[in-house]
Structure formats: C-alpha cells, structure tokens
Structure 1
Amino acid sequence: MTENYYKWHSPNLGKEFEMLVFGDSGFPLLLFPTSMGRYYESKDRGLIDAIRWFIEEGRIKVYCPDSVDADSWYNKNIAPQHRAYNHTCYDKMLAEEILPRMQEETGISRIAAAGCSFGGFHAANFAFRYPDKVSYLFSLSGIFDIKFRLDGYYDDNIYFNNPADFVPDNQHADLWRMGIILGVADNDVTRPQNEQLSGILAAKNISHWLDIRPDTMHDWPVWREMLPHYLSLIK
C-alpha cells in the first residue's frame, strides 16, 4: 500500500500543514481525524488497515489532513469569534489547497468525505457546505451542532459551519444527489445529534441512512467495522 507524506506552507492558515495520502488511484476520500487528532491518527488507530483492501485494489485513494481544532473550536484561550474564524481559514484551506489536488490526482470532481467523532462533524460540515464537490458523506459517530463550544456567542461564521443550523436552509440541488450515511453506535453520546440530523434530512426529503449499530459504543472498534461497509457502497 502506497503511503505518501506531504508538508507545505498553507497560505490560508499562515503556517505549515501536514497530510498523509494512501493509495495510487481510486475514488478520493477525505478522511478527517477526531477532536484535535493528527494526520496520522487514522493510521495509528487501525482505520487505514481496516480499509486496506480498498486502497490496495485501487478502489479508493485516502487523504488524511491534519486538524486545527486546537486553534479553533477547542481553543478556550481565545474569544469564540476567533475560534470560528480560525475554522473558516481551515475550511478555505481544504477547499482551495486539498480539494483541487484530490480532483486532479484522481480525475474525479465530487469526492467522498468521512470522519469519526469530531471528524464526523468536519466531514458533514464540508460535505453540506460544498454539495457540488462531495458525492458521499460517511459520518461515524459525528456531531452536527457546534454551539456548545462557543460560550453562547453566535455569528455568521458559526451559522455557516454548523450543519444543524444551515442545512435546513440549504436548497442546493446536489444535496439530493449525495449518498449520506450517518453511522452511530447504539450506546453513543452522539446518537441524539445523529437522530436530529436524520430528522432534518428527512424533513427535506433527502435520502440518507441512519445506521445505528446495536450493542456498540463510541469507540474505534465500531468505526473500523463501519467504514469498510460504507466504502463498499460507493458506485
């Protein structure tokens, strides 16, 4: 399995940024780490090994970016508006620096986005913000309402990066063309948010699958089972 490490100066972030890429060809998958996780987390936690067959068979090419959560949503040392702004810089970096690379290297214009736990938030936020660029969303125990990290503060940067708020108003036609799976453990702290988002999507008649795994917890073993299953559904 091919593994490549990339590091570059991101103009959107104003600092060095790192990413691991697995595979030579296939459907492009943007795979986010969990809260404050690093670009190597999916490898270290066995998630890459769980989907190794898809990579080695040329079915998918996996892009694992670093996170900036410690500078954004999780940084209690700065004002909440600055946390939200720092995330918007991250979003621009994804859209302007990583997405074009994925499209060029694979020849596919609408990618897949996935992530576990807080990575599920990143995947959903990116997918719903850019439905014309994302054809599949696989959220594994994700959250979709970020307001609890912002001390009661609210502005447009929060609205447009908070799927629970902006998805009900989003009428982009490509939302109805996206393959959406909300995977969650039965005994999962994020289950209420997954059920809430499922209700939002259902109210808009957006096809999706709320996959509640019985007798499971919010942890890596269930995510290592979920992701290969979901990847097998890419057409």
Structure 2
Amino acid sequence: MDISYHKRWSGKLGRDMEYKRYGYAGRPVVVFPTSQGRFYQFEDAGGVNSLADFIDTGRIQIFTVDGIDSESFFDKHGDPAHRIGRHEAYFRYVRDEALPEFAATAAEANGGRVLKPLFSGCSMGGYHSSNFVFRNPDLAAGVISLSGVYSTRGFLGSTLAGDIFYNSPLDYLPGITDEALLARLRSLRLIFCSGQGAWEEQMLVETHALERILREKAIPAWVDYWGGDVAHDWPWWHKQLPYFFGRWLDEDLKHRLD
C-alpha cells in the first residue's frame, strides 16, 4: 500500500497540522478521527486495513486529517464561545487549507481529473464528516458516518449562541429553505449507521432524529440500524466500513458524482 506522511503549517490554527495519505488513485476520501483522536488513529485502530482492498485497487485514496477536539468539544474548562471558536478555526483549516491540498494531490494521481471527496468517520468523526458536508455540500460527493452524533448539546449544553447553532445539524438543518442548497444536498450519496448495542444509546437517538429531518426535507439518505449486539467500538466499525464503502463505490461507478 502506498502510504505517505505530511506536515503543514496552518495559518487558521497557528500550528503545524499533520495528515497521512493511503493509496495511489481513486475517489479521494477524507477521514476524521474519533473523539480526541489524531491523524494516525484510523490506521492504528484498523480502519485503513478494513478498506485495504479498495485502496490497493485504486478505487479510493484516503486522507486522514488531524483533530483538535481536546481544545473544542472536549475542553471541559473552557467557556462555550471559546470552544466553538476553536472548532470554527479547525473547520476553516479543513475547508481552506487541507482540502485544497488533498484535492490537488488526488487530481494529479487521477491524471488531472478532479473528483470531489467522500467524507467519513466513526463516532466523533461521524459528527465532523456530516457537519462538514451539510455545511459545504458543494465541496463533497457524500458522507459515510458510523455511530455519529449530530448535535452540540452533549458537549456544550443547551446553548445555541453564535456559531454553536451552525455546528449543530439537528438544529440548523430544519431551517434550511434555500432551494439551491437543498438541491445540492439531495444530489449527494449520504449514509448514516448506528448500532443498537453498548454505548450507542445517544448515537441511536440522534441518528433517528437526523433521519426524520432528512425525510422531512426530502433529502435521500441510507440510514441503517444494526442489531442490539452492535456496540460503539472498532470491531463493529471494521465490519461496517467495507460494507458501506463497497455499496457507495458501486453507486459511484454508475453515476460518478463530480
């Protein structure tokens, strides 16, 4: 497997940020880590290996971004305004700095063809990937979110002041009325999954809530619920990742979203 490590200065965050790339060609995939995870977590936890067949055959090239959750959602001592400010800086880092670099690298590997990325993640990575796609559907081909949460309330409490609202999908999605934005969201391939076993309680509740909102907005999505033995942990994500990526990529071959 082709693997490369990269470190770049981020003006948005005022620090070096790291990432790894896996693969030599194919649809770019941006993967966010789980809660307080780092760019190397997806490899260390077995996520890369679970998708090795897709990587080694040139169907996807994965970019694993770094995270700063400990300064935002998991900073228990900071006030909500500061914490969401750090997250917004991270959001801008991904959008304005990391993503253009990923796109250029992927396009070069694909002989100059530009393909919009698929976003993915497990647990907190599911939140980050989904929130990014909902806010920037023009920059994405879709999302595969496993065991994600879709609200800021579990981290920042009931307040929705300022930018908190715009990072809480269960709160901002119902208010979207712009038809151009809705049309773009409806054109994406969206996959959300939650187990119904240990440690999935909040994820299950919020996935059901997200499903209802998407249905009300006529935004097509595959929302899948696995059984009562399916826990919030890597052994199950190892099963879910190739299952959902395989189906997403099969549709990609048919329709090739650009």
TM-score (norm. length: structure 1): 0.96
1:109, distance to aligned residue in structure 2 (A): 4.3
Match of 1:131 in 2: 137
Choose between structure 1 and 2: higher strand proportion: 1
Q: Which moved more, 1:105-114 or 1:46-55?
A: 105-114
Task: Pick from 179, 192, 216 the counterpart of residue 230 of structure 2.
Answer: 216
Alignment partner of 1:42 is 2:34: no
Amino acid at match of 1:161: N
Counterpart for residue 69 of structure 2: 69
The one-letter code matched in structure 1 to 2:187 is: R
Q: Deviations over 1:194-231 (max 9, x none)?
A: 01001100111111111111231111111111111221
- Residue deviations 1:46-99, cap 9 Å, x none? 110000111111100101011000011111221110000000000000001111
Shift of 1:110: 2.1
CA contact (8 A) 1:109 1:133 kept: no
Letter paired with 2:129: A
2:120 is the alignment partner of 1:122? no
SS at match of 2:9: strand
- Superposition map of 1:105-116 within 5 A: 105-107=105-107, 108-116=114-122
Q: Contact 1:127 / 1:133 at 8 angstroms: preserved in 2? A: yes
Matches within 5 A, 1:14-163: 14-107=14-107, 108-163=114-169
Distance, in Å, in 2 between the alignment partners of 1:57 and 1:32 is 22
CA root-mean-square deviation:
1.2
Q: TM-score with structure 2 length normalisation?
A: 0.88
Report the equivalent of 1:228: 242
Contact 2:28–2:115 (Cα < 8 Å) also in 1: no
Q: Which has the higher helix share?
A: 2
Identity %: 32
1:225 and 1:152 map into 2 onto residues whose CA distance is: 34
Paired with 2:66 and 2:151, the residues of 1 have a C-alpha distance of: 21
Q: Deviations over 1:171-216 (max 9, x none)?
A: 4121000111111112222111001001100111111111111231
Residues 92-136 of structure 1, C-alpha deviation per residue, up to 9 Å, x if partnerless?
A: 000011111222222334210000001100010001010011111
Give the Cα–Cα distance (whole angstroms) in 2 for the partners of residues 96 and 73 of structure 1: 21
The residue type equivalent to 1:219 in the other structure is: D
Once the 2 structures are TM-superposed, how far is the Cα of residue 161 of structure 1 from its aligned partner? 1.0
- Equivalent position to 2:212, from 199, 216, 226: 199
| Partner Cα distance (1:217, 1:76) in 2 | 26
2:122–2:147 Cα contact (<8 Å) kept: yes
Q: Residues 160-199 of structure 1 correspond to what in structure 2 (within 5 A)?
A: 160-170=166-176, 171=178, 172=181, 173-187=183-197, 188-189=200-201, 190-199=203-212
Amino acid at match of 1:206: I
> What runs of 5+ residues in structure 2 fail to find an aligned partner?
108-113, 253-258
Aligned pair count reads 235
- Deviations, residues 17-56 of structure 1 (Å, cap 9, x unaligned): 1111111111010101100011111111111000011111
Give 1:72's aligned amino acid: S
Indicate the SS of the match to 1:87. Answer: helix
